[in-house]
Amino acid sequence: MSLRSALLSLLSAEPMSGYDLERVLNETSGYVWTAQSSQIYTTLRQMERDELIEAEELRTGDRTRRVYRLLEEGVEELRRWAAEPVAYGAERDVAHLKASLLNLLTLDQAESLFRAHLAHYRQRLMTWERRIEGIESGTSPILRARLRAAAPDEHDALIAFKLLGYEGSVIRARGEIEWAELGLARVRRLREVTELVQSAK
Amino acid sequence: MSLRSALLSLLSAEPMSGYDLERVLNETSGYVWTAQSSQIYTTLRQMERDELIEAEELRTGDRTRRVYRLLEEGVEELRRWAAEPVAYGAERDVAHLKASLLNLLTLDQAESLFRAHLAHYRQRLMTWERRIEGIESGTSPILRARLRAAAPDEHDALIAFKLLGYEGSVIRARGEIEWAELGLARVRRLREVTELVQSAK
């Protein structure tokens, strides 16, 4: 996933300024992409040169904003990117790897790892569930913009696939919560065994 | 996760040559870490200079192999790494992101994406389940080496946590399979709606 595809995806909802894009990228995509201001502006300029987007100067009072609009070639590039098969690569889940080494640590340290994992994914789960609610209740501003831009007979597919993106994240977060709970149960069992051995001595 | 921690983790099971490490890394960790030969050798030399490991020359017939053994400082570094809190960062699941853009594609293209996702994670699931079987049946060679190196009262924790690492991957793969099936069901429903609309015209 490149920042370029992320920006094209957002601009396919509605024209936005660099400032808007940065805010939406860090708020709504948050955990998915993160990008620095300077990277965003460099990529926008490159996409402008490649004629994927065009900028328009908008004046509000004495302030001028450059607002970017997706061109047909930009839609095409986004479409090509979405259609490309996913290149599945190495999976680096640091928490799962650390778990396999926890015998090197105390049970208290092992417990901390699982508690942190649980807290992190509970937080994530809430975020994703809120996004899904926003789509289902029709209050998500970016979905509203996308629906305005799309023909009525495309609305079903648009909503169905937007939901699916977030549902993937929900399923993932629930799995991680299940795993952290399994880890905590295993730490408890090891603690009981240790206590039994201690008291038998 | 650095290659350094991966190599330390493998050497904590038993002494190995660079060739063994490369083979085990690409076979058993496979999807978790992948590393080029040259990276592995550079990292081993650095770790030797840092006195985390030491090399011994072993002769078999007219061949000489350098076999690396973990030193106490190496165990300490691995322990410190395992105890460090996980730095949870951006999550870039390309398939989930593409799913949210599938309204740009035909339903056939969308279906291909989910079929590929399903095939990929079914394959992964089989791999992880085989690893778990190897641990539970006691046939995993690397686990046997680890058990030989550990005190008997550490065996329970060692097995429990090794299993947990792979169980995390199993839960993850099952979740992705569930999600791909949800995607396929959604494509089917959209297809039915489209056909209904077509036949009503």
pLDDT, residue A110, reads: 94
Comparing CA positions, the residue from B50, B35, B44 lying closest to residue B15 is B44
Instruction: Give the per-residue pLDDT at A167.
Output: 94
Given a contact cutoff of 8 angstroms between Cβ atoms, the answer to whether B52 and B75 are in contact is no
Alpha-carbon gap, residue A143 to A139, rounded angstroms: 8
As beta bridge partners, residue B63 has: B60
**Full-model pTM:** 0.86
Q: Length of chain B, please?
A: 201
Q: Are A69 and A54 in contact (CB under 8 A)?
A: yes
Length of chain A equals 201
Tokens standing for B5? 């921690």
What's the pLDDT tens digit per position in A79-137?
A: 999 999 988 876 667 888 888 889 889 999 999 999 999 999 999 999 889 989 999 99
Tell me the per-residue pLDDT of B9-29, one tens digit each, with 9 for 90 and over: 889 888 999 988 888 877 655
Q: Do A86 and B31 touch (CB under 8 A)?
A: no
Size of interface A-B (CB pairs under 8 A): 208
Q: What is the mean pLDDT of residues A151-177?
A: 93
B-chain CB neighbours of A100 within 8 Å are 9, 161-162, 164-166
Q: How confident is the model at residue A140 (pLDDT cuts 50, 70, 90)?
A: confident
φ, ψ for residue B18 (rounded to 5)?
-60, -40
User: Are residues B103 and A166, on separate chains, in Cβ contact within 8 Å?
Assistant: no
Considering just the CA atoms, what is the radius of gyration of chain B in Å?
Answer: 23
Asked if residues B94 and A1 have their Cβ atoms less than 8 Å apart, the reply is: yes
Rounded to 10°, the helix A155-200/B155-200 angle is 160
Specify which residues B66 forms β-bridges with: B57
Q: Which residue of A has its CA nearest to B160?
A: A186
- Minimum distance, in Å, between the CA of residue A89 and any CA atom of chain B: 7
8-state DSSP, B104: G
CB atoms within 10 A of CB B80: 12
